[in-house]
Amino acid sequence: MPEHWEVQRVKTVSSFVTSGPRGWSERIAEEGTLFIQSGDLDNALKIDFASSKRVRVTNDAETTRTQLFDGDVVICVTGAKTGNVAVCSAVPETAYVNQHLCLVRPNGTMLPMFLGILLKSDLGRTYFDLSQYGLKQGLSLEDVKESPVLVPPIEEQQVIIKHVEVETSKFDILESESTRAITLLQERRTALISAAVTGKIDVRSFAGKEVA
């Protein structure tokens, strides 16, 4: 670690840390406000708002406490995706987090994306894994607050974010190309089978070769 970087904890680089409300699953409805759940956090530090469920909300303290804003960092604290992290770059409309998520609001010491990248890195993953032991499954708010973070100057955070975005975009392109190739191969396989079983392929020559 560079000498001019600082080691702090999530609680010292955040102005607010909380978890979602309990019991709101009973309020899920076809129409309502966006309700972000652990399954809406992808593996690329993003929130899939399009897949989010909706919930009926009331004007109370729980509603105010759990509302998601631009720049918030969201961490899954229970379930199969424990430790997964996403950064809310822009909320498309009013949204709230559920009880399986922890909401962290950076105070300006760290850029939201840099905090997200750090918590998603091996450093953050190792800490989250070590925080779960024996019968203790999942992360508490204290676990998240006590998570160690490396804090470089803002200018260096910006450079690191840009570097990560450029490099990961290369993987995104490779993944997209691989997906297209797999789809094409599946289509050709289906077409081949269809042609074979409908008599569009003259298999007599093949049969002759096998007999020979």
Residue-averaged pLDDT of the chain: 89
Q: Is the model's pTM score more than 0.85?
A: no
The per-residue pLDDT for range 49-67, each reduced to its tens digit, is: 999 999 998 888 888 899 9
Q: What's the pLDDT score for residue 195?
A: 76
Element spanning 115, H or E: helix 112-120
- Cα-based distances in Å from 180 to 48, 104, 166, 175, 187: 22, 37, 22, 9, 11
43-47, 68-72, 158-162, 176-180: least confident range: 176-180
Q: What's the pLDDT score for residue 126?
A: 93
Q: How far apart are CA 45 and CA 60, in angstroms?
A: 30
DSSP 147-206: -EEEE--HHHHHHHHHHHHHHHHHHHHHHHHHHHHHHHHHHHHHHHHHHHHTT-S--HHH
Confidence of residue 83 (pLDDT cuts 50, 70, 90): very high
Q: What's the pLDDT score for residue 25?
A: 81
Which one, of 34, 10, 3, lies nearest residue 123 by Cα? 10
Q: What's the pLDDT score for residue 205?
A: 66
The per-residue pLDDT for range 172-194, each reduced to its tens digit, is: 788 788 888 888 888 888 887 78
